[in-house]
Structure 1
Amino acid sequence: MKCIGLAVPGSIDYDRGVVIDAHNLDYHDFPLCRSISEHYPCVTVYVENDANAAALAEYYCGAFRGCSSGLLITIGTGIGGGLVLDGKLFIGGKKNGFEFGHGVLVFGGERCSCGQLGCIESYCSAAALVREGRKAATLHHESAMFQRAQGDLTKINAKLVMDCAREGDETASAVYKQFTDYLGATACTAIALFDPEIIAFGGGVSNDGEFLLGPIREYAERYAFFRNHAKIVSAEMKNDAGIIGAAMLYLQR
């Protein structure tokens, strides 16, 4: 074994191999590479943000194959993302990483978990879809969402909102259209900034395939700055993306 690759849900100091912050793991300025090297002293250890690693997996093995550039947007409780440009993982000029979900989408909008107002994550995450679904159900007790939840708003999750929208419920459909419009606007921003060949959507919500991607493509066709813009697809590597990307880190370093 010549090297070990690690994917961590947090910010990375690449020069020192330190996890600056990974709140879910309770890592703060944690020297992860050194800790692993103590057990494997003859092996090179690499560490990367998990969303960046997932983008690498798409580049080498998945949706970005045959392309030199691609953007991965993962839709979960938050919004993750990884960007490959000219065959290289983009980690920023100051090596702070790529936090696309914390660009501002709505000025003065909903407060994000990061503390800012109006982040992409505040409008395009599964948590945002749930928030808006519950708001709408509160105002529309006749909606399928409210009825299926039997009036218990805590039972309204992203899947319920999407299922009701797919079945034609008017209230759920309005919530879902707003959600996909925000995702479409986010894709258009990415197209204008980076001009990637591919934008791949991953995460649990993306499992709905064309029901999600179709409206995003339609929005991009209408509003993208470039007429010849990125192809919008589903990510291919699914739950193994971070693992596969971590194994590919040696090709980038």
Structure 2
Amino acid sequence: MTSAAACVTGLVFDRSESGVRLTKLDAPVSETSPYEMVRSQELNALLGPKASMQAVDLLCDLHNTTANTGLCLITYSDRDWICLHICKHLQAQMASTPVRYVHFDIPLNEAYSLDSVGKHGFAMEIGPQPHGVVRSVIFSAMQEGVQLMMDWICQFNSGTLFEGGWVDVYTMVKNIDYPRDSETHVITAAVHPDLQDRDFCLLHPGDPMFLCFSGETLRYRGKEALYPFFINEGAYYEKGVALSLARKRRVQIPSVL
């Protein structure tokens, strides 16, 4: 990262999860093109081009979620030492907010989120917060997370040595949809009360997962214990996702200077 100013340039707030896959960014646009496609190409021109040496050094995309996730750094790499060190720094400094590193195992050229345009990048996602609502505790935690990230960048650019260590990485394994009627595809159950709001709490085979509107409890039938997150996320109903499941492992990161 050449300068703090370059990093500030990459600090962008944009709620659009529009297609910033490389195959879409070069597609021709017209007056009838969807706003998301046009906006994606504008952001790619401003902050990229994606996967090029001209792209900004670090790009952070700010999001909120209705799920009880705490603060998550969501990225497409489990070996990006810059992002992992920033996560480690936030974990050490944010005593009142849990901070976790979430890894989506998707090739970067297929990634669709804004942060994938930068050389390094992540979405900083925090919850729980209903859409269209500002909760002061969530706002303050996000503000603290952004400031700590900027502090780390300034220290890095000043030549500070950051010691290595370990970071827990949650790699997304799969998504789970709500139970649905086989003919109408209407949702027939809600997230079970024993699971609701227990993001990143280990889910064991046989644990309650859904409570059917008929009163029946449906249990997790997976073969291994995994970590659920984005439980009952409001924006994911239309995507057919009731929760995501992740596998956790510890990643050793080297010192950086």
TM-score, normalized by the shorter chain, greater than 0.5: no
TM-score normalized with structure 1 length: 0.27
| More strand, by proportion | 2
More helix per residue: 1
